[in-house]
């Protein structure tokens, strides 16, 4: 009976992974297809990657997406880190419940509601929709994810390290930058990567906040897919998959090396004390 359940579990996991990742594998494979028909394999070719260089529409959309992602992720990381510090270090202040609810509301709010609300706000303020409004919209919905990641790290932070630094004469600001920030840096980097990835992936909110002068890459891909999937779209998606996968592996490797270095430092300190 145990063997039967084990086989069932293995089969279930295999089917689940195939359902999730097999379409991505097929997309990558057919991006190297020589044929214009995405369902007919006609041989290996990189012609669609070469044609991307001459596609100004996709290049402009990719440049807008990259700028929006970098700027919005950076701003969201700063604001999310400050919000996490406020929620973990100042547990009692007037309006804390309201502040916490406003910070984490985008986590559970549908993207359509966020996009429509921001659209009405931009129209009421008289903002011309474009690069700035897309960036503000992405900061709004990605900041909460950064706050969650950083707050989880701050909840397990050893406050005695800060107390020891201030007992030695360090100011609160210097203590934060020399003690607190290096310890929570992996969480901040992870939050930035998450915000950047969410910004690259967003379609719904950007559709509400975008204007005639700014089109993100997901919007461009969606508009072309409605007319039919082409190998060129497969090539663009493959490049995006490669960028995201590289960033995830790089972040995991950096965090792993920092964790190993921290363990070595702790062992060295224990030996020195011994």
Task: Delineate the domains of the chain, giving CATH numbers in brackets.
Answer: 56-273 (1.10.3720.10)
- Which letter does DSSP use for residue 127 in this model? P
pLDDT value, residue 5: 63
- The per-residue DSSP string of 228-253 comes to ---HHHHHHHHHHHHHHHHHHHHHHH
Mean pLDDT of all residues in 28-40: 79
37 three-state secondary structure: coil
pLDDT in tens, 86-98: 888 877 778 878 8
Phi, then psi, of 4 in degrees rounded to 5: -65, -45
pLDDT value, residue 1: 43
Confidence of residue 12 (pLDDT cuts 50, 70, 90): confident
Tell me the residue length of the chain. Answer: 274
Nearest to 38 by CA among 218, 227, 241, 245: 227
Q: How far, CA to CA in Å, does 172 sit from each of 88, 168, 169? A: 16, 11, 9
Mean pLDDT of all residues in 7-32: 86
Mean pLDDT of all residues in 163-187: 84
Mean pLDDT of all residues in 114-138: 90
Nearest to 187 by CA among 134, 123, 259: 259
Q: Report the predicted TM-score, pTM, of the whole model to 2 decimal places.
A: 0.80
pLDDT in tens, 214-249: 888 888 888 877 777 777 888 888 888 888 788 778
pLDDT value, residue 145: 92
Mean pLDDT of all residues in 114-132: 90
pLDDT above 70 covers what percent of the chain? 96
């190297």: which residue's tokens? 32
- Which letter does DSSP use for residue 109 in this model? S
**Cα–Cα distance, 171 to 187 (Å, whole number):** 23
pLDDT at 173 over 80: yes
Mean pLDDT of all residues in 55-65: 87
pLDDT above 90 covers what percent of the chain? 20
pLDDT value, residue 174: 87
Confidence of residue 274 (pLDDT cuts 50, 70, 90): low
CB burial of residue 183 (10 Å; 0-12, 13-18, 19+): middle
Give residue 37's Cα distance to chain centre: 33
């Amino acid at each position: 009976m145990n063997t039967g359940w084990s086989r069932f579990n293995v089969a279930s996991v295999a089917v689940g992974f195939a359902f999730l990742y097999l379409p991505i594998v097929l997309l990558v494979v057919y991006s190297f297809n020589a044929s214009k028909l995405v369902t007919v394999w006609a041989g290996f070719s990189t012609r669609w990657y070469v044609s991307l260089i001459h596609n100004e529409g996709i290049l402009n959309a990719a440049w807008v997406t990259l700028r929006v992602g970098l700027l919005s992720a950076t701003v969201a990381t700063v604001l999310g880190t400050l919000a996490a510090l406020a929620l973990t270090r100042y547990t009692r202040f007037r309006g804390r419940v309201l502040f916490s609810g406003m910070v984490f509301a985008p986590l559970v709010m549908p993207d359509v509601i966020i996009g429509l609300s921001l659209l009405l706000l931009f129209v009421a303020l008289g903002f011309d929709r474009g690069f700035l409004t897309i960036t503000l919209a992405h900061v709004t919905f990605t900041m909460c994810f950064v706050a969650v990641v950083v707050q989880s790290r701050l909840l397990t932070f050893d406050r005695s390290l800060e107390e020891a630094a201030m007992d030695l004469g360090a100011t609160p600001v210097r203590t934060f930058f020399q003690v607190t920030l290096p310890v929570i840096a992996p969480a901040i980097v992870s939050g930035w990567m998450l915000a950047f990835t969410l910004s690259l992936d967003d379609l719904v909110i950007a559709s509400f906040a975008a204007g005639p002068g700014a089109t993100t890459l997901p919007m461009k891909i969606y508009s072309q897919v409605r007319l039919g999937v082409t190998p060129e779209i497969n090539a663009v998606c493959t490049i995006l998959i490669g960028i995201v996968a590289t960033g995830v592996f790089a972040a995991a490797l950096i965090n792993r090396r920092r964790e190993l270095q921290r363990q070595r430092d702790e062992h060295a300190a224990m030996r020195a004390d011994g």
